[in-house]
Amino acid sequence: MSDHRRVALSETAELRALAHPTRLRLLGLLRMHGAQTAAQLGGPLGEAPGTVSYHLRALAAVGLIEEAGALSDDRRTRWWRAAHDSTSWDPGQLLEDDERAEAGAALQRAIGGVYAQRWAEYVDAAATLPRDWVAAGLSADTLLRLTAEELAELRDEATALLERWRDRSDEREAPDGTALVAVVAQAYRVPQ
């Protein structure tokens, strides 16, 4: 089994801190590219370093990122890194009180927005990507009639499958013919 650094969010403050599209993207950039400064992170986000610094401090306050130490000769520059490789939460636990449920819902809506933006960026760039990479991709959805227990079993199997591929990914160093691949999976009861 993997030994990834993981964090399970359970506090309302953690959920609220991450429930902002800019903060989600900042955390993603730090996980994808390693330690960076506010100025470096501001470019891809189209944000001023001061704005980025504000969001970085909010993430650091709840332990999602941390200072990476001095990585350049300029001691005035603060370098930040992700404190964990992945973030999760127990969806059932989010419903334990109204405040946590509200914060959890805000986080999940923000994540959906970031996923949609990332997908749109891929669709816009697909024609410029190597054909074999585009052909190897997957975009599918299906409706299944399951019990709650079967849904939990599906979740566990999908999680194990992703962990197996995560282990393989972690064994590699770029550039070796690999590229970053986004995998997004959601399984939920359709509201009626």
pLDDT of the residue at 74 = 67
pLDDT of the residue at 69 = 79
pLDDT of the residue at 77 = 84
* pLDDT per residue as tens digits for the range 80-132: 999 999 899 998 899 989 999 999 999 999 999 999 999 999 999 999 999 99
Q: How many whole angstroms from its chain centre is CA 60?
A: 16
Residues of the chain with pLDDT under 70: 1-4, 71-75
The owner of tokens 């190597």 is: 130
Residues of the chain with pLDDT > 70, as a percent, come to 95
Pair 77, 1: CB distance under 8 Å = no
Q: What's the pTM?
A: 0.85
Say which amino acid occupies 156: D
